[in-house]
Amino acid sequence: MAMRHKEKHKIDNIGWLRAAVLGANDGIVSTSSLILGVAASHATHSSILVTGVSALVAGAMSMATGEYVSVQSQADTEAAALETERVELQRNPKSEHHELTGIYVGRGLDVPLAKEVATQLMIHDALGAHARDELGITDAMSAKPLQAALASALSFGIGAALPLLVVVVVPQDRLIPVIVAASLVFLAILGGLAAKAGGANIKKGVLRVTFWSALSMAVAAGVGAMFGAAT
């Protein structure tokens, strides 16, 4: 018996990868920006550290909640669409067969072959065929709320912990330049790893992440310095 060949594609990673990259990136950028803003306002070292820890906890919880609600909404929408399709298959299977045939004709099959493919797939798994080819719902792309929430919270916490570690070990008089440099290095590594895991261009991934992150930190530091000078 011939062994089936199963290919592993980068797209299989998209569910957890999106949540993990978003969480880690936001953890580094938001925590670093907040630390820079507070440090630029001439706050004490202990105040900066408390601010960073608070940002880590609040941000991780916020990321988990937001990601769960967002992805759960997507999951609910998918479930409703599948239920509608299930009802239609029971009520009017001929119309659904015709619909599936039209999809395959649109993809380049001739009509007789498209009809035969639709027939065979509907015999095997009618709902699965319509979910995949009509609705675009697959196992790899389907919404997984809990997985996304946990990935976001964990990755945010890891990302936020990196600039916090800098606050702990670096003297306050050198904190701002070291935070900026370390955060950009962390973000460049993250951007490169994310691009590699997703099969994208690594250089573009690194440049995209570092540019927008540097802009965010510069704005935060500027606001902190402005309000610090005003007090």
Residue 87: C-alpha distances to residues 90, 170, 179 (Å): 5, 63, 57
Listed in sequence order, the residues at least 6 apart from 7 whose beta carbon sits closer than 8 Å to its beta carbon are none
Provide the pLDDT confidence category of residue 57 given band limits of 50, 70 and 90: very high
HSE (CB half, 13 Å, CA atoms) of 64? 15
Provide the pLDDT confidence category of residue 3 given band limits of 50, 70 and 90: very low
The whole-number pLDDT of residue 88 equals 82
Q: Which residues in the chain belong to E strands, given as ranges? A: none
**Would 8 be classed as within a structural domain?**
no
Domain that holds residue 118: 17-224
**Would 6 be classed as within a structural domain?**
no
**Would 154 be classed as within a structural domain?**
yes
Provide the pLDDT confidence category of residue 10 given band limits of 50, 70 and 90: very low
Closest CA to 156 of 20, 35, 49: 20
Most confident of 62-71, 93-102, 105-114, 160-169: 160-169
**Would 230 be classed as within a structural domain?**
no
> Each residue of 131-144: pLDDT tens digit?
887 777 766 556 67
Number of domains within the chain: 1
Q: Determine the average pLDDT of the residues in 99-124.
A: 86
Exposure string over 174-185, b if 16+ CB within 10 A, otherwise e: ebbeebbebbbe
% of the chain surpassing 90 pLDDT: 12
- Report the Cα 131 to chain-centroid distance in Å: 23
- Report the Cα 34 to chain-centroid distance in Å: 22
CA-CA distance, 186 to 107, in Å (whole number)?
A: 44
**Would 7 be classed as within a structural domain?**
no
Q: Determine the average pLDDT of the residues in 14-24.
A: 66
Closest CA to 26 of 59, 68, 74, 57: 59
The whole-number pLDDT of residue 161 equals 93
Q: List the structure tokens of 36.
A: 């820079």
**Would 155 be classed as within a structural domain?**
yes
Q: Determine the average pLDDT of the residues in 166-194.
A: 86
